[in-house]
Amino acid sequence: MQDTVKEDDILLEVRNISLSFGGVRALENISFDIRKGEVRAIIGPNGAGKSSMLNVINGFYHPQEGEIWFDGKRRHHMKPHQVAKLGIARTFQNIALFKGMSTLDNLMTGRYIKMRANLFSQMVWVGPAQREEVEHRQRVEEIIDFLKIQSIRKTPVGKLPYGMQKRVELGRALAAESKLLLLDEPMAGMNLEEKEDMCRFVLDVNEQFGTTIALIEHDMGVVMDISNRVVVLDYGKKLADGSPDEVRNNEKVIDAYLGVSHD
């Protein structure tokens, strides 16, 4: 399967990643790739190492072994803010919004790497800084319209209900207009309606903006519906990798994920 894919179709590839914390082996020799334009799901039981994998990809954790290739180049030791500049954005499993700010400001802050005005023009404001602010405000308003959050534009995010906060966090990640979007359980804790909305947004982002997406999700129904390929982790090891159908019918996955013994 790998062989049929052209090199430049792959956006991100992790090779033989091993990560441990003291005695805990969070990831053991994990390899997989993410193709340009696809929705890639990462699934596995609690503690499988899914979030750790995202933390490796965006530079929070530094694996003891393995390589990360992004956009055809080997990526060396990088800090998260450097990874952001490469074009990787993400959301967190536990909401990590800037709760002292409004929805609008959270999204504007999401465009930090896109903004250039230097200290002096910021101090003067009138001129380049203001022009830049207006220009980016327009892009942010497009995202606000896209996510249908116009009515909470000026609301401090701390006051929003949980589902809305998740949506704003997606908005903040979108604001960076990155190549790769990492979503850590974007639908966790949501009711059915909110989940459906979120699925729609994820698919629309993928289709309309062409953004490559890697997401972690526990809801198998959702995973089967929206992802092109699925990688399954269990206790830090890779169990399976393939299309949703292949993965669903994989016996190892059924055993591990559903916790039922197979006989």
Ligand X SMILES: Nc1ncnc2c1ncn2[C@@H]1O[C@H](COP(=O)(O)OP(=O)(O)OP(=O)(O)O)[C@@H](O)[C@H]1O
Exactly one of 51, 52, 58, 206 binds another protein (CB under 8 A); that residue is 58
CB nearer to another protein: pick between 89 and 202: 89
Instruction: Choose the contact partner of 186 out of another protein, ligand X, Mg ion, none; CB within 5 to 8 A by kind.
Output: none
What character string, x for contact with ligand X (CB under 6 A) and - otherwise, covers 29-58? ---------------x-xxxxxxx------
Q: How far is the CB of 54 from Mg ion (least distance, A)?
A: 8
For residue 187, give every residue at least 6 positions away whose Cβ sits within 8 Å of its Cβ, in sequence order, or none.
166, 194, 195, 198, 199, 217, 219, 222
Supply the angle between the helices 162-175 and 192-204 in degrees, to the nearest 10. 10
CB nearer to ligand X: pick between 87 and 236: 236
21 binds ligand X (CB under 6 A): yes
What character string, x for contact with another protein (CB under 8 A) and - otherwise, covers 5-34? ------------------------------
Binding residues for ligand X, how many (CB under 6 A)?
Answer: 12
187 binds ligand X (CB under 6 A): no
| 143-146 long-range Cβ contacts below 8 angstroms, 24+ apart | 143/107, 143/171, 143/174, 143/175, 144/103, 144/104, 144/107, 144/171, 146/174, 146/201, 146/204
Distance CA 108, CA 136 (A): 7
